[in-house]
């Protein structure tokens, strides 16, 4: 696995466990100390994608930043659903 770049990157992954984790070190978003994990697990209806993160709001209210990150996740997951439809 390549080392994270100055701006971040993948910090761990497992093909067999179907997940990867990454960090963002530099971003135009009002965040710092951002780390995230995406995992795909089996469910009764196909697959379940879990996308979790931890971060500190930086320069904006925490609730607004959480909504921003949530919107980014939603757009990404909607795109995956569209690609698989």
- Report the pLDDT value the prediction gives residue 8, as an integer from 0 to 100: 87
Domain-embedded: residue 1: no
Q: How far, in Å, CA of 3 to CA of 80, rounded?
A: 26
* Structural domain includes residue 22: yes
CATH at residue 19: 3.30.530.20
Query: Which domain range does residue 33 map to?
Result: 8-80
Let me know if residue 85 belongs to a domain. no
- Using only C-alpha atoms, what is the Rg of the chain? 14
User: How far apart are alpha carbons 54 and 41 in whole angstroms?
Assistant: 21
Q: Is residue 35 part of a domain?
A: yes
pTM for the whole structure: 0.81
pLDDT digits over 20-65, tens only? 999 999 999 999 999 999 999 999 988 999 999 999 999 999 999 9
Nearest 5 degrees, angle CA 78-CA 83-CA 85? 90
Q: Residue 25: inside a domain, yes or no?
A: yes
Does any domain span residue 42?
Answer: yes
Count structural domains, the chain: 1
């Amino acid at each position: 696995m390549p080392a994270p770049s100055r701006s971040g990157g993948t910090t761990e992954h497992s093909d067999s466990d179907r997940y990867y984790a990454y960090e963002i070190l530099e971003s135009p978003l009002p965040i710092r100390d951002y780390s995230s994990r995406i995992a795909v697990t089996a469910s009764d209806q196909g697959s379940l994608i879990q996308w979790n993160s931890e971060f500190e709001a930086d320069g904006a209210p925490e609730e607004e930043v959480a909504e921003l990150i949530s919107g980014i996740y939603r757009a990404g997951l909607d795109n995956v659903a569209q690609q698989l439809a």
